[in-house]
Chain A
């Protein structure tokens, strides 16, 4: 065979070796050794909130968030940039499921390129234990009275303020008026005093299904502790964790078992559908297939956008003869102890949590209540609450936050706790025996918590 003339082997070899250069560059990259030490270090230049002064030179701070998409938070950042022209906030949205990994990748390395990040309130103790948070007690000494009490509690760990709470939450019971009308069910009242019971809602849900509703009752967060904790609490079952430092699982109580029996029956009787993940439940209600939907006020805008959907809201139910308990808690801002831009970060924290009522006023399209007490007034003026279908939502949210809101269990082992419970709720909804599911959850959590005790 005849081969065409080629470059001389030597030249070909140089070409081939070219690929190795990238690798060589890699290997010579100098490692910045990360000396790790425990405890809480303080970023340089932390000042008291009253003495904060805007920088005279341009500063950029990096903020990683999981609460809002970049789109959601844009108006807040624009308002901040207008007010503080020398500070630029570079926001990076992180998918919630990967948020922990991203934080641990960047915080445990003393990465100075991350200044602020969202703290999911129940994880405050866990993050504090990991040395990820900064003591802000001196920077913001007088938050009491400026933010609501549960938020302040949630942002405090070991008696120190370690995060700036900016957003809290509550829950409502949405119901589909057309489906209830079809079944001849009277609409529940939106007054807190007329709180429906789960037993009555279940019966009405079945009735609505017989009259043509596809599903009777669908929880917004079918497998999340946040929304399902009140079921056990309402029957006096407790938060699920107790003992020293809340490191003993307490799931095998009468309240847990009874409430989970009820939860299991929803799926067994096909009142709720199996196999629908959390992210898809709001779409089921929005498409008019669900009679009752316990969910957050933040779904209001999505539902109100459906012109064909006629719905109303009532109080989050409790069990007959049980305690009224509602989910709460939300997000705070944490400051990376390794941050080199403490002052600019503080200015942004103050803006989010305190200035003129905080961030919520710039986010009218998202009905999430702020922690800031002054900010709640403008929050309840948002357009969504003027929609007749959301009538009563304001009074309800105010009432729940003041009287029935119950924080999730506080423990350094919260991440493992919540994770195990998610799987347990899922198993129970898929038909596992309640007793065995709760006892296997207990042993899983016990194993995971051994290292914290």
Chain B
């Protein structure tokens, strides 16, 4: 795809109205600002990563004053990662990845279809359906987890894969996101295609999906993070350790008579780094979509 330049709310695009020198200073200032803010957000994560590579004793010995050893281990060790691997964390991680991936793929398909119908197709009762969708994401999942777990066990849906995936799929927030972005696409595009004799599925697949790639990624994030952070639900519906997802495995390192903070930090850091890498890989789809530059294909 061709990369269109990003819009500049702060500076005129390609117009030499201001002196180039002043623009350059402005850019340097903004870049420095971006770097400083990003690093400020990063510090707690750096502490987590540093704690992955040192003993928990050292972590706690250096946890109450400001010194650079908080973010840089004095004695490097791979013990925490090794102990995580020995405890089957790789299998838990695989479980998490599979559950999250299936949820994202199915979830995007299901939510995008629903959002399309709510944003583009004119049918009676549209408002009521949309109202239900909004209501559904006002319901905090943790508040209904216990009764829902009872229902799942009545259906024999415990300790299996569908039991873990399903709650992540009925996601009103994902539908709401996409609907908002679909509404931003000029309706004339769909109208023109209708006149050309295209059916709704074709308009959906060929116009709306390609034009809302950043929003689809955002929706993917909503679905992904729901499962990636899922903790209470898996505890309620899985009954064997080999089905545990990563956050549950982390919680289980705290028993009544033992604790292993080093391992907790290592496992948490791994869980944090994976989505970061994925998001970094998706950055190139985050440029302006075709909609904003007119419809030149």
Contacts and interface: CB of A to CB of B under 8 A. Distances in A.
In the complex they form, do A and B come into direct contact, defined as C-beta atoms under 8 angstroms apart? yes
Interface of A: 1, 3-4, 6, 9, 12-13, 16, 19, 22, 26, 29-34, 62, 64, 66-72, 90-96, 98, 101-102, 104-106, 109, 111, 113-114, 214, 279-280, 282-284, 286-289, 296, 298, 302, 306, 331, 366, 368
- A-B pairs, top 3 by smallest CB distance, nearest first, are A29-B155, A12-B201, A9-B199
B288 interface: no
Given A3-B196, A62-B239, A287-B61, A69 B253 contact: yes
B77 interface: no
A104 B193 CA distance: 56
Contacts of B286: none
Nearest to A367: B257
Interface in B71-113: 87, 106, 109-110, 113
B157 A29 contact: yes
B60 A280 contact: yes
Given A67-B256, A69-B253, 11 more contacts: A9-B201, A12-B202, A12-B205, A72-B255, A93-B241, A95-B248, A105-B149, A284-B60, A287-B57, A287-B60, A289-B60
Contact of B241 (A13, A66, A70): A70
A298 B257 contact: yes
Interface string B153-165: 1111110001000
A48 to B, nearest CB: 30
A364 to B, nearest CB: 13
Contacts of B202: 3, 6, 9, 12
A26 B198 contact: no
B205 A6 contact: yes
B61 A111 contact: no
30 contacts: A1-B193, A3-B202, A6-B205, A9-B200, A9-B201, A9-B202, A12-B201, A12-B205, A13-B201, A29-B154, A29-B157, A33-B154, A67-B256, A68-B256, A68-B257, A72-B255, A72-B258, A92-B240, A104-B146, A105-B149, A106-B153, A106-B239, A113-B158, A283-B59, A283-B261, A288-B61, A289-B61, A298-B257, A298-B258, A366-B257
B295 interface: yes
Given A109-B150, A302-B258, A102 B192 contact: no
B252 A95 contact: yes
Among A16, A34, A67, A331: residue with most chain B CB under 10 A:
A16
Contacts of B189: 1
Please classify how large the interface on chain B is, using the bins under 10, 10 to 19, 20 to 34, 35 or more. 35 or more
A1 B198 contact: no
Contacts of A282: 259
Interface string B229-263: 00010011001110000001001111111110100
B2 interface: no
A403 B156 CA distance: 50
A189 B155 CA distance: 61
B270 interface: no
Contacts of A302: 258
Nearest to B162: A22
A368 B255 CA distance: 13
Given A1-B297, A279-B254, A95 B153 contact: no
Nearest to A15: B201
A67 B257 contact: yes
B155 A101 contact: no
A274 to B, nearest CB: 12
Nearest to B165: A22
Contacts of A32: 154, 156
Nearest to A4: B206
A92 B158 CA distance: 14
Contact of A111 (B56, B153, B240): B153
Contacts of A69: 252-253, 255, 258
A280 B58 CA distance: 13
B257 A368 contact: yes
A31 B64 CA distance: 54
A283 B156 CA distance: 42
A89 B148 CA distance: 28
B114 to A, nearest CB: 10
Contacts of A91: 241
Given A68-B257, A92-B239, A92-B241, A1 B192 contact: yes
A286 B57 contact: yes
A248 B40 CA distance: 51
A16 B202 CA distance: 12
A3 to B, nearest CB: 5
B166 interface: yes
Contact of B106 (A19, A30, A101, A306): A19
Contacts of A95: 235, 248, 251-252, 254
Interface string B179-213: 00000000001001100101111100110000000
A26 B166 contact: yes
A78 B146 CA distance: 34
B240 to A, nearest CB: 6
Contacts of B240: 90, 92
Nearest to B236: A105
Contacts of A62: 239
A102 B75 CA distance: 40
Given A93-B241, A105-B236, A19 B206 contact: no
A366 B257 CA distance: 8
A61 to B, nearest CB: 12
Nearest to A64: B239
A287 B262 CA distance: 13
Contacts of B149: 105
Contacts of A66: 255-256
Among B153, B162, B189: residue with most chain A CB under 10 A:
B153
B153 A68 contact: no
Contacts of B257: 67-68, 72, 296, 298, 366, 368
A13 B157 CA distance: 28
Given A3-B193, A12-B201, A26-B155, A101 B236 contact: yes
Contacts of A72: 255, 257-258
A90 B206 CA distance: 51
Among A62, A95, A111, A306: residue with most chain B CB under 10 A:
A95
B199 A29 contact: no
